[in-house]
Structure 1
Amino acid sequence: MNITPFGRQSLVHDIKLRTLAFSSTFQIGDSCKIKAVSNVLAIQRERELFFDDEGKFEDYPIFSEPIPLAPITTPVNVNTLNANGTIKVGSIDIIGVSSASILHVGNTDDVYLENRTHHIRQLSDAE
């Protein structure tokens, strides 16, 4: 067991996590920063047809456009009393954590999560 800079411990009795994928985080305990970014280009076709020069992220503006983050202008007052100093979790059962997501038991100071997904469906002409 490790006492963190936040001064608390995280105890998990039982966890079952089947899938953790694509820039996701599984964290027990405190962290200062978590940054997860996942870019997905999904091309679906009715027939199996592949081209060598397709699938470049730079061809799609969704992957390079800045994401507007609204400034936090409302003051936040927080009073915290950690009488015990321990985060206790009995049991967690998760099917999957994917695409820049977090399963986290503990404190985090700074979190940035970003997922950009572009789906393309190319269907054959109806005859």
Structure 2
Amino acid sequence: MLQRSSCVDTLKLDIVAFASTVQLGDSCIINGLSRALAVQREEEVFLGNEGSYNYPVFSEPIPFLPIDEDISYLTHNLNPIIKVKKIRITGMSSASILHVGNSQNVSMEVRVKHIRQLLPHEEEQTQE
């Protein structure tokens, strides 16, 4: 892997949350993983057994299709420095990565299960 120095003059970052990473410099492997269970309820009821990740969305394999096309490129780095003048980010969340530098392998995965629990409405019950 090509090694270069990373230089950032100014970095202003307000919020970094939920498995997010700020990396200045080279890295061999970056793995970002975040899992979230979001439950929206019309009425505030807490059953006591919230938080189970037993939904298929968290265990199903992610299909990675093989790259079967020929790729050719030419790189010529005259300067061994990655120079960034200014980075301004309001917020990063859920396995986000800010990376200034070289990377060999990068793998990112975020899995979210959204559940909406609504109360039955009278007009819906009378239509049935």
Same fold by TM-score greater than 0.5? yes
- For 2:114, give the aligned amino acid: H
1:47-101 deviation digits (Å, cap 9, x = unpaired): 211112232102x100000000011111222211110111110111101111111
Name the structure 1 match of 2:72: 77
Alignment equivalent of 1:115, drawn from 97, 110, 119: 110
- For 2:32, give the aligned amino acid: A
Name the structure 2 match of 1:30: 26
Q: Which runs of 4+ in 1 moved over 6 A?
A: none
Within the alignment, does 1:15 sit opposite 2:11 as a pair?
Answer: yes
Alignment equivalent of 2:89, drawn from 80, 86, 94: 94
- For 2:24, give the aligned amino acid: I
**RMSD of Structure 2 on Structure 1 (CA):** 1.2
How far residue 126 of structure 1 moved from its aligned partner, in angstroms, is 2.5
> How many residues are paired up?
122
> Structure 1: how far apart are the matches of 2:68 and 2:60?
24
> Structure 2: how far apart are the matches of 1:122 and 1:7?
51
Give unmatched runs, 5+ long, in structure 1: none
Identity %: 52
Name the structure 2 match of 1:57: 53
**TM-score under structure 2 normalisation?**
0.89
Name the structure 1 match of 2:36: 40
Give unmatched runs, 5+ long, in structure 2: 123-128
> Structure 2: how far apart are the matches of 1:66 and 1:88?
38
> Structure 2: how far apart are the matches of 1:69 and 1:78?
23
Larger Rg: 2
> Structure 2: how far apart are the matches of 1:17 and 1:107?
21
- For 1:108, give the aligned amino acid: S
**TM-score under structure 1 normalisation?**
0.90
